Chains A and B, each alone.
Chain A
Amino acid sequence: MKTIIKAGFITLIAASSLSATAADYVIDTKGMHAAINFRIQHLGYSWLYGQFRDFTGQFSFDENNPDAGSVSVNIDTTSIDSNHAERDKHLRSDDFLATDQFPAASFTSTSVDLDSTGNGTISGDLTLKGNTRPVTLEVKGIGAGNDPWGGYRRGFEATTELTLADFGIDYNLGPAAKNVELILSIEGVRQ
């Protein structure tokens, strides 16, 4: 009897410590320790950088079972910002993102292959301009730990490359600019 209780107790402790690490995080868009950047070649001569300013997202990550993690991000496509008013207006137009019709883009993970530090790949569905395509993110775990204000944070950087035409964006920007790289830099606050 004593041993049964003892065993039960140990299981309980193990379970609680497990649930403590399998944590849900909300991407810190309030304090903006997160960015969804993109870059595309300009004529093949330089990189043009831009970002989506407004987005929300959450992820879960467990160091002991990293492959059980998941992530989802919603992006307000009207918030595209390449630091040039006329270009951004053009990017929001039907030639590119058609943000009147498709004001949101999203990424939802379907399978996660990460090590305990958060390095690896995440596959998922990216919806952009109404087209949903599978993409694979190359992920680097940057770090995790307590912040100075009583919270616990964890951050990643993820990159992937898209072919614009796959998402119905076929405006001719030249042969060097058929693909765009996405660079997601996200920090989550544990809930």
Chain B
Amino acid sequence: MNPDDRMNKTNPSSGWISHWRNRHDAFGWLAIMLHWLSAVLVVGLLALGIWMVTLTYYDSWYTPAPQLHKSVGMLFAGLLLMRLIWRLSNPSPAIHGKRWEIGIAQISHWLVYALLTGIVITGYLMTTAEGQAISVFGWFEIPALPAAFNQQADLMGDWHRWASYTLIGLLVLHIGAAIKHQWLDADGTLSRMLGRKVSSP
């Protein structure tokens, strides 16, 4: 281990990255911004969703909360689409960790993308099951599909809920792994996601 590496172990970040696109050693700013904006929206939507279903008829948030959830959810769908396009059209930096950790990281990252996509789609199909469009903050409307099946809202609602609970489990794993990499392994994984320059361990 040379002195440089030792320094990186104890202080892995040194300055900010300056590239927008991903590179093989680091995410670019666009991916980083999409990630953190998604993080805020996903945590917010999960919390809002869990809370709003406990509201009853005479709660003042009974109608505004689902409207907010749907509006933000549809905007998040656009963000997710951009993120997936960017993810697939860019290299991804090497994943830190042992071979099995890398395998689990890859599986769980794609599972997170799949769940996010599924949650967005089931949410849309639940609300539009009887032909109503989804209004996004009253700015514009996303129309319903022309066909629906019987009790579509119920089945899509079940899937929406269970996919969301599964996602919460994966997010706990994701955050736990980020903490482990940053502070136990000290490999700068979290610093890298915050736009700091990190030398590869």
- Which A residues contact B (CB, under 8 angstroms)? 78-79, 81, 83-86, 88-89, 92, 171-174
Whether B56 contacts A88 by the Cβ 8 Å rule is no
Whether A174 contacts B132 by the Cβ 8 Å rule is no
Contacts of B127 in A (CB 8 A): 85-86
Whether B58 contacts A85 by the Cβ 8 Å rule is no
Q: Is B26 close to A, CB under 8 A?
A: no
- Whole-angstrom distance from the CB of B74 to the nearest CB of chain A? 15
Q: Is B126 close to A, CB under 8 A?
A: yes
Contact of A85 among B56, B57, B153 (CB under 8 A): B153
- Count A-B pairs with CB separation below 8 Å: 36
Q: Is B129 close to A, CB under 8 A?
A: yes
Residues 43-83 of B at the A interface (beta carbon under 8 Å): 56-58, 66
Q: Is B154 close to A, CB under 8 A?
A: yes
Q: Is B151 close to A, CB under 8 A?
A: yes
Whether B57 contacts A173 by the Cβ 8 Å rule is yes
Contacts of B157 in A (CB 8 A): 89
Whether A172 contacts B56 by the Cβ 8 Å rule is yes
Question: Looking at A83, A89, A172, which has the most chain B CB atoms within 10 Å of its CB?
Answer: A89
- Whole-angstrom distance from the CB of A103 to the nearest CB of chain B? 11
Contacts of A81 in B (CB 8 A): 130
Whether B126 contacts A92 by the Cβ 8 Å rule is no
Find the A residue at minimum CB distance from B129.
A85
In the bound complex, what is the Cα–Cα distance between A157 and B91 (angstroms)? 69
Whether A88 contacts B57 by the Cβ 8 Å rule is no
Whether B153 contacts A86 by the Cβ 8 Å rule is yes
Given A171-B57, A172-B57, A173-B57, residue A84 in contact with residue B154 (CB < 8 A) = no
Q: 9 closest pairs, A vs B, by CB?
A: A85-B129, A89-B153, A85-B130, A85-B153, A89-B154, A173-B57, A89-B157, A172-B57, A78-B151
Size category, B interface: 10 to 19
Q: Is B152 close to A, CB under 8 A?
A: yes
Contact of A172 among B58, B66, B130, B132 (CB under 8 A): B58
Q: Is B128 close to A, CB under 8 A?
A: yes
Contact of B132 among A79, A85, A171, A173 (CB under 8 A): A85
Contacts of A174 in B (CB 8 A): 57-58
Contacts of B129 in A (CB 8 A): 85, 89
Whether B152 contacts A85 by the Cβ 8 Å rule is yes
Contacts of A83 in B (CB 8 A): 130
Find the A residue at minimum CB distance from B58.
A172
Whether A84 contacts B130 by the Cβ 8 Å rule is yes
- Whole-angstrom distance from the CB of A32 to the nearest CB of chain B? 16
- Taken residue by residue from 122 to 137, chain B's Cβ proximity to chain A (1 for < 8 Å, 0 otherwise) reads as 0000111110100000
- Whole-angstrom distance from the CB of A86 to the nearest CB of chain B? 6
Contacts of A79 in B (CB 8 A): 150
In the bound complex, what is the Cα–Cα distance between A89 and B123 (angstroms)? 13
Contacts of A78 in B (CB 8 A): 150-151
Whether A92 contacts B151 by the Cβ 8 Å rule is yes
Given contacts A85-B153, A172-B57, 10 further A-B contacts (CB under 8 A): A79-B150, A81-B130, A85-B129, A85-B130, A85-B152, A86-B127, A86-B153, A88-B153, A89-B153, A89-B154
